[in-house]
Structure 1
Amino acid sequence: MTKTLMIAAYTEFNLGDDLFIKVLCERYPDTRFRLIAPQAYKLVFKEQRNLKVYASDSVLLRGINYLFRKTKLHPNFVQKLLTERSDGTVHIGGSIFMQGEGWEEYVANAENLRNKSKPYFLMGANFGPYQDEAYYRKYREIFREYADVSFREQYSYDLFKDLGNVRLAPDIIFQLKYSAAPVQAAEGKILAISVIKPSAKALHGYDKLYYDKMKDIAVHFIRQGYAVHFLSFCQHEGDQEAIGQILNLIPAELQAHTHAHFYSTDINAILAVLAGASCIIASRFHAMILGWVFGKPVFPVAYSSKMVNVMQDARFGGGYTDFKHLAELTAEQVYAGMAAGTLDVMLQANQAEKHFEQLDAYLEPQPLLEGRRSYES
């Protein structure tokens, strides 16, 4: 019997999180998936026939939720109804357990939506950062009730490894297999820079320094004969604004050698730039992962410990920096560091299959062929 699963995910047009959803749906073509997300997500997944997107910003859905909220029956009636009428839920994503203000209310609302009589699969996450022991203890209680919990880095796994339903595997996107035509430049060499707005990542006071450093790196590579392509993975988190700030710092005579790409609904457009790049500056976590998958030299600019944790797990031997040491970084160091920035991720790609073991068993798919890659664009 065909099963129907609810997807819980971060739906703010973030490339990495949208790739998670795509991977999941393409792995199980005979399973029906449901997702509540903004209307434009119907464009993101227009070719995904087994995924139905319910527009969270539609007048109908908002009206129904408003009515039930005013009558104090349920604050998110539509999501609760769809969850009740599904065979289970897959919560897929990366940084989905960062402690924020008012976390108790957030957790209570999420638990109110969960149908505890049906399986709940958590896939591909990392835990934290967190400050309160109560936050950690609360999730220990909750995770015990999940059908499966899979983390993507050792630190998070170690926090919960004594629970019988917790496992470890490399990031799900290590499975990516991309075959479309890459972007090419007239110069023949491309530096791709995925950017962030540091203050949007709680790195307050770093915006100007970061923009100056990215400008310096871009100028240095342009003078070495590169075209520089700036990538925004998530406009909602300020990536597009950051690109504008950096471009304003680049001398006018070098502007012709720069390009900007803003992810909104076309996943393959961004992947094509990364696939065509000669090397990558990765401020975004999944720019680092995708760079390795594409076999490119990568220089990570780590905005959080999760990037450093994954580099350590993968035994990455190339150069990188974090924001504590960003002021010391020079463009010359980045240029030289690219020589050792590649990583063979075949092992990680195979191990990433482990995220799906319990969901495979629940959905009873056809036996997987040995060596099969789960996600193909």
Structure 2
Amino acid sequence: MKKVMIYAYTNFNLGDDLFIKVLCERYPHTKFILHAPRDYKVNLNEIENITIIPDDTLIVRGINFVSRKLKFEFLTRNLIAKNCDMAVLIGGSLFIELDNWQHAYELKKNMLIKNKPFFLLGANFGPYKDRNFQLKYKELFKEYTDICFREQYSYDLFENLNNIRRADDIIFQLEKPVEEEVGNYIVISVIKPSEKNIPNFDEIYYQKLRDIAIYFIERELNVTFMSFCESEGDKEAIENVIKMIPEKYSNKIKKHLYKLNMEETLGVIAKSKFVIATRFHAMIVGWVYNKPVFPIAYSKKMTNVINDVGFEGSYIELANLHSLEPEIVYNSLDTNSIDVSKQAINAKNHFKKLDEYLLK
């Protein structure tokens, strides 16, 4: 049985955790290793072919603290990886130009396992401004065995490399739930804009979500505010919105927080009538579950995919949110559905090259 090291964003973000789930379930006869917080043993307990090596024990934290001082980060993770047959870096927004991007670049460079295959799956590239940011990663990407981006824009940036491919987002292939009775509620997935390096938008964003929620409640639909990642401010944002809603509506409002309840969270989306999606994967999961979706696009990664799939429904970019009227969102109940069955098939192409190593 082959052993594969998974590199992923392990901060209890639903979208990233779904990447891990889909990867492991595709290769049931492969042993996957993930260096992650110990609670991931609970979060992924139904996946039998993954081993979680806790990175938050006192011993591991101590070793990593010392190794950082010696300018050699993630010593324990790298030692584990050396005993694997290959590695997969899987995730979405893995290549954003932040102030300390050179440090993040070195960390990714150190993920390579000498003389062993390395795969990058599911990502988009950017946003970035520094041309050197792209050129440095272009040199690093030449060392990867296979790279499959999830949008055309990212593919075009590196299309002259012979190991670059493109497929629709991995989560398009998420298995649809058994048909269940739809509840009388909508889901609003929430972010905290300032946590996404979008300054000066928190208040207008919260105000618009308040107005939208009230509009739907007054038309006999309940509202569930959903957090995809508590540590990125989603829960805090929900609390800020709810504080702005008059108490007379409180019995029509629920909160759903994702952390160790993946199937439950997916079920809440599956039983909803409509999804208002600021989170990228709330948009994708909503489409997969045949829900009308109104995207609030906080990043080009959302508008890029909206264009790639040919979505013709209404949506708005966060920068233009001040002009959004709740009525437009409400009317999208009847206009914002899309058939993503082609994307579900195409999304499997992310694993086309990895299949050659793991399905022989």
| TM-score with structure 2 setting the length | 0.97
Aligned to 1:375: none
CA distance in structure 2 between the aligned counterparts of 1:73 and 1:203, rounded to whole angstroms? 31
SS in 2 for 1:177: coil
Counting only pairs closer than 5 Å after superposition, residues 234-245 of structure 1 correspond to structure 2 as 234-245=229-240
Matches of 1:184 and 1:347 in 2, distance apart? 24
Deviations 1:94-129 (A, max 9, x none): 000001112112212331342131111000100000
Deviations along 1:175-224, one digit per CA (max 9) or x if unpaired, are 01132675864xxx211100000111111111010000001000000011
CA distance in 2, matches of 1:155, 1:357: 20
**Matched-pair contact (CA < 8 Å) for 2:258–2:265:** yes
Q: In 2, distance between residues paired with 1:264 and 1:143?
A: 32
Select the residue among 260, 268, 271 that pairs with 1:265.
260
Counterpart amino acid of 1:136? Answer: Q
SS for the counterpart of 1:179 is coil
Per the alignment, residue 289 of structure 1 pairs with 284
The secondary structure found in structure 2 opposite 1:47 is coil
Look up the match of 1:369.
Answer: none
User: Is the partner of 1:300 in helix, strand or coil?
Assistant: strand
Please state how far the C-alpha of 1:131 moved relative to its aligned partner: 1.0
Q: Is it true that 1:279 corresponds to 2:274 in the alignment?
A: yes
The match for 2:32 is 33
Verify the 8 A CA contact 1:319 1:337 in the aligned structure 2: yes
Moved more, 172-181 or 49-58: 172-181
Query: Which residue among 225, 231, 243 is the counterpart of 1:230?
Result: 225
Query: Stretches of 4+ moved more than 6 A in 1?
Result: none
Tell me how far apart the structure 2 counterparts of residues 26 and 80 of structure 1 sit (CA, whole Å). 24
Q: Describe the SS at the equivalent of 1:96.
A: strand
Contact 2:176–2:288 (Cα < 8 Å) also in 1: no
* Residue 195 of structure 2 corresponds to residue 200 of structure 1: yes
Letter in 2 for 1:257: K
2: CA distance between counterparts of 1:232 and 1:183? 23
**1:295–1:344 Cα contact (<8 Å) kept:** yes
Equivalents in 2 of 1:169, 1:272: separation in Å?
26
State the 1:24 CA deviation.
0.4
Matched residue SS, 2:125: coil
Cα deviation, 1:34-89, whole Å, max 9, x if unaligned, reads: 1111111111111211111111111222233345455x384322111111111111
Deviation digits for residues 259-296 of structure 1, max 9, x if unmatched?
Answer: 00000111011111110111110010000001110111
Aligned pairs for 1:142-221 (under 5 A) are 142-179=140-177, 185=183, 189-221=184-216
For each residue in 1:356-375, what CA deviation from the matched residue of structure 2 results, as whole angstroms up to 9, or x when unmatched? 0000001125xxxxxxxxxx
Partners of 2:111 and 2:2 lie apart in 1 by 19
SS in 2 for 1:75: coil
Identity %: 46
1:136 is the counterpart of 2:134: yes
Partner-residue secondary structure (3-state), 1:114: coil
Q: Deviations over 1:290-327 (max 9, x none)?
A: 11101111000000011000000000000000112100
User: Which SS does the other structure have where 2:94 is aligned?
Assistant: coil
User: What is the CA–CA distance in structure 2 between the aligned matches of 1:232 and 1:182, rounded to whole Å?
Assistant: 23
Which residue identity is paired with 1:123? Answer: L
Q: Which residue of 1 aligns with 2:115?
A: 117
* Alpha-carbon shift at residue 251 of structure 1 (Å): 1.0
Q: Name which of structure 1's ranges 273-282 and 337-346 shifts more when overlaid on structure 2.
A: 337-346
Aligned to 2:14: 15
**What is the distance in 2 between the residues matched to 1:155 and 1:163?**
15
Residue pairs, 1:358-373, within 5 angstroms: 358-365=353-360
Rounded to whole Å, the distance in 1 between the matches of 2:3 and 2:266 is 29
| SS of the residue 1:105 aligns to | helix
Matched residue, 2:341: 346
Counterpart of 1:107?
105
Deviation at 1:245, TM superposition (A): 0.6
CA distance in structure 2 between the partners assigned to 1:153 and 1:92 by the alignment: 15
Query: Is the CA contact (8 Å cut-off) linking 1:183 and 1:272 kept in structure 2?
Result: no
Unaligned segments of structure 1, at least 5 residues? 366-377
How big is the shift at 1:21? 0.2
- Indicate the SS of the match to 1:101: coil
Aligned to 1:316: 311
Structure 1 distance, partners of 2:8, 2:56, is 16
Q: CA-atom RMSD, angstroms?
A: 1.4
Residue of structure 2 equivalent to 1:373: none
Is the aligned partner of 1:5 residue 2:4?
Answer: yes
Distance 1:261 1:42 in 2: 21
Aligned counterparts of 1:183 and 1:64: Cα–Cα separation in 2: 51
> Is the 8 Å Cα contact of residues 195 and 282 (structure 1) preserved in structure 2?
yes
